[in-house]
Structure 1
Amino acid sequence: MSGPCEDLDPAIIAQAKLYYFELLNGLSESYNTFHRFIYHFLCIIGVIANICFVVVLLRPAMRKNPFNLFLIAIAICDMTLMASYFMYKQVEMCHPWYFTFFWIVYTYGYAVLSVFVHSASLWLTVNMAVLRYLVLKSGSSSSRRWPRLNTYKAASIAVISAVLLAAVGSAPNMLRYEIRNNGQLAVPTFCVEAGAKYAHSYQPGQLVHAYTLGQPAYWGCGLERFSFWTAGVLLKLVPCLLLTIFMTLLVRMLVEARERRSRLIAKQAPPPVTTSQNDSSRSMGQWERTTGGGASGAQTRAERTTAMLTIIVAVFLITELPQGILVVAIGVEPQVRFAMHQLSNIIDLLSLLNSSVNFILYATMSNLFRHEFLHTFGQCCPVRLLAWLQSNEAKAAASPPSPTRQLEPGTMMTGLNGTSKLIRTSPPNGATTERNLTKCAVNGRHPSSLRPTTTKKSQNSNNKTSARNSLPVAFASAAFSMLRKTQAREETVQEMDDAEQRRRLLLLENGGK
């Protein structure tokens, strides 16, 4: 490729090359030793991970969320970038393919495609954050002016607009290259000297085609500066700024939603009440009021989402902001391009890291994604990895949404909406007793007086005890029936009062996933 622009003084170009070589060569040489191993690992694992990512997101359970359309498009862009970069790095100087017309065409395509797909991935991330914020904002607003945004139509429009923005921003880069045929030249001497890696591929005195990428005749320093200004501002700095703003707003909205949900639950839930003081109350079982388990689960989801958004912002800024500053600097001073040449492998590493982070984030923070991944690739996973994933799924499924303690038979559970239910338990001997509250009340016995019988003697003993205690048990059953009616009336009033608040909270929760 040619220098920063064709009309610069050759003396200025030589001076810039020497300056940035002395300044950055030590750093670049220290890292270049490891770059070959790092990019092989990131590209191979990243392409496989993104393919799995797309396959899982296309499953029916995952297609319910329109925001997964963004993730599919981002994964396609990322795997395209990593695959093309991996192929580009395989053919180095002196490789027999290096002097072919096919390879110079591929190099031209890579120079154009890599900038476009990487820019599209960045703008897709920005548009996803903007649309998610608008969905949450419309859900928390009582105004009906907001259209429905949590749809595939809105997501498709946002995806198309991101691709168009990336195309506009990378258009100058598409116009700054042309393929030049410099005729047939002798193979460079360092390619055929003794000990060279590809010396065996050439015959003494062999000629090869000298294809190069250069800049068109019309491409001067003005267009060079415009190209880098456009790429730096539209494809780097503006996405960084927008994503930082909207991710900050999203995190704040999620925190506020969690606080409102906690206040609502605290307002609805009465304090725990326990009545078990004498023998008769112990025979009837322990009656308790406990709050529903939605608060802890909602807080956990909000915290995971907040952590995921924070990591996305951090990775985005760490990998893209330095590149944006460097590209803008090249727009101001074209000679700075030689600094980018020295740091090219480090810049490539940042882009590869940004392209491989989505799968890791969703695999560690989304229970649904892990569940669908196991269903899809369970037979292909190594035994230890599959066991680890299944153990995490089992822990997530077994863990209650809120801390609870072991309840005795007959315990009353009051949910978030005020409804009460009598839990069913299994006695120690394994026999299951189903306690139908209405039937027991009609028979004049409380459900806790029922016990599984195994012998005739124990059955007669229970009948005598029931007859002896029929009056207090009937009184308790009548009181319990009145309590249920009162709770039903309170439930109806509470649901009418809080219907609008519940709708908003549900929209906030669904939109933030």
Structure 2
Amino acid sequence: MSCHFLHLSVQNEVKSLNLICIIILKDESIYTMSYCEKTPIFTGEYENCSSSFPDQCPPEKIFFDDFYENFRTTHKRLCLFLCFIGIFMNAMTMLILTRPAMRSIPNCLLTMISAVFNSVLLLGCDFTLMVSYQIYLIRASQLIHYDCPADEFSFAWAIFTIIHVNLSVLSKAASMWLSVLLAVYRFLLLKSTENMGTPFHDLQKNIKLTICALLGSILLLASPIFVSNDIDSKPVPQSALGLCPNGTIFHELAVHPFTMAYDCFLFKYNFWTVGLVFKFLPSLLLANFLTKIVHFMYKNERKRANKFRRTSHHLEKYENGAAATTNNRNKITQRTTKLLILILSSTLICELPCAFSTIFAGFKSNFNVFVYRNLGDVFETLSLLNGLVTFPLYCFMSSGFRKTFSDTFYRAQRKNNDHQQRHRTLSSTKRCNMQMKNRHNSSFDARKAIIIEDNK
């Protein structure tokens, strides 16, 4: 994995800084590199800088270290809350977007059926990441106490950590590139409606194939990352012998030996693939297409305003004739485009700082040592916040989404009420039938008794 490995004499802390897994093994007195000592990315001028030698640290190093220590406790609790809320919100959004009604309303029609499929995939990435990250946080936040330190670093937990890191890489990379794809297809759709040259069905015909090719490319590029991690098994340290049974094995993450071969080629490949291809490049493309979409909308607004001024004497005909339908369709298109702009802008705002920081960390070693490592919690929080915005934006800006949401849950509640009502009606009918049968039997017995008495 694209990881920094630093020696530890006190504790080791496994962190997933958004896309880049950084395994930080901290020593309170000194930072020393265990691998890739000659790699420019991870060497700095202040190698002896630490809390034990503050006079060798620049002011910015002390500032960011203090910020990290103060924010880390709040970050864990905040991320647990964000994951819990985000899982619920993304599950609700995926449920509504997959309803048949969403594929028939004008909002979904104008954003293309395949774009909804794209949105569901995008939300699915956030949902998967939040579930995995919440499990990781519950364990890493020390909410579960272990008497033996080896229980905290079991083989099963090491396997889960590797899966979590790899899943984070795939989820966030897919999320970023699907956002770019969504912006590209929205821009092409707007251009096709302006030029009347490309039919609507031609734009959506190959969308599923494009998505599959995109996800396959991400999986192929990320495949070296998956095999870069290893699990190192060793006896429990001397300090924990009294707490653990004899023969207890301590499992921790390690880098696979071939990752450091050929002048750390695979190590550098992982770093630049994650930072450049999975973060920086999609951020630039997303910013480019968002700018084009906003410019296109502004230009169309001016054209439409000029057209309305020129045809003001035909306003009544326009409002009552077929042109009114076109006007309504344009309004729906604008509203849908604005919704997508807000969703994609939130993605850009939350992910762009991490993208630039990753690139700076690759070129500026001091930036990596002082800033990038200490802002990892901030990048994680922004990434989780980005996964929360889709549901409230859809609820606020899409009447079709609100209607489908209401119909879905109201129908479920109504079915439950109808079932209960039918059960009550059936029970009442059965009781009435039993009462009538009892009355009939009582009346029959009475008449029979009278006949017997008369015969006597």
- Give TM-score scaled by structure 1 length: 0.60
Tell me which residue corresponds to 2:64.
24
Q: Within the alignment, does 1:239 sit opposite 2:277 as a pair?
A: no
Tell me which residue corresponds to 1:106.
160
Q: For residue 408 of structure 2, what is the amino acid of its counterpart?
A: T
Bigger proportion of residues as helix: 2
Deviation at 1:37, TM superposition (A): 2.9
The 2-side partners of 1:155 and 1:265 are apart by 35
The 1-side partners of 2:362 and 2:247 are apart by 38
Q: Within the alignment, does 1:62 sit opposite 2:102 as a pair?
A: yes
Tell me which residue corresponds to 1:256.
299
The 2-side partners of 1:359 and 1:373 are apart by 11
- The structure with higher relative contact order (CA 8 Å, sep 6+) is 2
1:207–1:315 Cα change, 3 Å? farther
Instruction: Return the match for 2:182 from 100, 104, 128.
Output: 128
The 2-side partners of 1:69 and 1:60 are apart by 12
Q: Within the alignment, does 1:42 sit opposite 2:82 as a pair?
A: yes
SS at match of 2:259: coil
SS at match of 1:374: helix
Summarize deviations over 1:41-69 as a string: whole Å, max 9, x none: 21111111111111111111113432100
Tell me which residue corresponds to 1:308.
339
How many residues get paired?
352
Percent of aligned positions that are identical: 26
Deviation at 1:188, TM superposition (A): 4.4
The 1-side partners of 2:306 and 2:326 are apart by 10
Q: For residue 135 of structure 1, what is the amino acid of its counterpart?
A: L
- Give TM-score scaled by structure 2 length: 0.67
SS at match of 1:214: strand
Q: Within the alignment, does 1:358 sit opposite 2:390 as a pair?
A: yes
Q: For residue 82 of structure 2, what is the amino acid of its counterpart?
A: L
1:71–1:184 Cα change, 3 Å? same
Correspondences of 1:61-460 after superposition (within 5 Å): 61-64=101-104, 65-92=113-140, 95-96=145-146, 97-143=151-197, 148-151=201-204, 153-186=205-238, 188=240, 203=243, 208-220=248-260, 221-268=264-311, 270=313, 291-292=319-320, 297=328, 300-301=331-332, 304-305=335-336, 307-332=338-363, 336=368, 339-378=371-410
The 2-side partners of 1:109 and 1:308 are apart by 34
Do the aligned partners of 1:237 and 1:321 also contact (CA within 8 Å) in 2? yes
Tell me which residue corresponds to 1:6.
35
Deviation at 1:250, TM superposition (A): 1.6
Q: For residue 325 of structure 1, what is the amino acid of its counterpart?
A: F
Larger radius of gyration: 1
1:39–1:56 Cα change, 3 Å? same
Tell me which residue corresponds to 2:48.
15
The 1-side partners of 2:216 and 2:269 are apart by 19
1:219–1:17 Cα change, 3 Å? farther
Q: For residue 252 of structure 1, what is the amino acid of its counterpart?
A: H
The 1-side partners of 2:119 and 2:43 are apart by 48
Summarize deviations over 1:103-159 as a string: whole Å, max 9, x none: 000001111110111110110010111122122223322446x784343x4221232
Do the aligned partners of 1:5 and 1:334 also contact (CA within 8 Å) in 2? no
The 2-side partners of 1:33 and 1:360 are apart by 27
Q: What residue ranges of structure 1 are gaps of 5+ in the alignment?
A: 193-202, 273-287, 382-513
The 2-side partners of 1:17 and 1:340 are apart by 16
Deviation at 1:171, TM superposition (A): 3.3
Q: For residue 48 of structure 2, what is the amino acid of its counterpart?
A: Q
Correspondences of 1:427-506 after superposition (within 5 Å): none
Q: What residue ranges of structure 2 are gaps of 5+ in the alignment?
A: 7-32, 52-56, 105-112, 414-456
RMSD (Å), alpha carbons: 3.4
Tell me which residue corresponds to 1:472.
none
Deviation at 1:380, TM superposition (A): 8.4
The 2-side partners of 1:142 and 1:244 are apart by 26
1:63–1:291 Cα change, 3 Å? closer
Do the aligned partners of 1:116 and 1:167 also contact (CA within 8 Å) in 2? yes
Q: For residue 206 of structure 2, what is the amino acid of its counterpart?
A: A
SS at match of 1:8: coil
The 2-side partners of 1:235 and 1:174 are apart by 15
Summarize deviations over 1:232-262 as a string: whole Å, max 9, x none: 1111111111111111222222333344444
The 2-side partners of 1:255 and 1:362 are apart by 22
Deviation at 1:177, TM superposition (A): 1.4
The 1-side partners of 2:371 and 2:88 are apart by 33
1:147–1:302 Cα change, 3 Å? closer
1:260–1:357 Cα change, 3 Å? same
SS at match of 2:206: helix
Do the aligned partners of 2:290 and 2:345 also contact (CA within 8 Å) in 1? no
SS at match of 2:235: strand
Deviation at 1:17, TM superposition (A): 6.1
SS at match of 2:100: coil
Do the aligned partners of 1:255 and 1:302 also contact (CA within 8 Å) in 2? no
